[in-house]
Chain A
């Protein structure tokens, strides 16, 4: 089974901190995605990547950046965390031409 592993299930950070959310997949998928999930808003795409060192902005990239130095790892970075970034963050991966995403279990981030 494809596994997408997010390094933390729960995180609490202070306003202004730099936050790293890590995601690793083990099936050599080309595409990787970061979403945030908020009640009533569904999943909103923050950034995605379809190759190492490649990144594309999603629908809500403001306040975030990403890094993909290796194919299996896609990191989401909050340069200066703010309370409105309190959310559930979901990572997903898929094959280049495939539409079947495999999701991680999510990281619930609270910024205080």
Chain B
């Protein structure tokens, strides 16, 4: 069965510092991998998606993630944090063979930005 594990339910960084949100996945076949962001009082929106092309995926708002098969990881990074990045971030996995496109979400990481 597929699953994702997000390490750290809460991460706090200073404005301008590197953001690193960790995600490890478990899947019997090469999966699709996603990062979604949820701003306060809103639904989730897609940040980026890995589908087996380039292993380094660039997303919106300066975020990127690298697929590392040997480590079963898909960590999210941003070189310089901005106050507007404060939100909850969800890593997710989908079986590429699933016709119903069902996605399994991690438990989320809340990112706080210190001035």
Contact = CB atoms under 8 A, between A and B. Distances in A.
Contact of A97 (B41, B46, B101, B108): B101
Nearest to B6: A42
Interface in B47-101: 49, 51, 90, 94, 99-101
Given A42-B90, A99-B49, A101-B44, A48 B102 contact: yes
Nearest to A95: B101
B45 interface: yes
Interface size class on chain B is 20 to 34
Contact of B108 (A4, A35, A42): A42
B12 interface: no
B28 interface: no
Closest 7 CB pairs between A and B? A103-B43, A42-B107, A43-B105, A103-B44, A42-B105, A105-B43, A99-B94
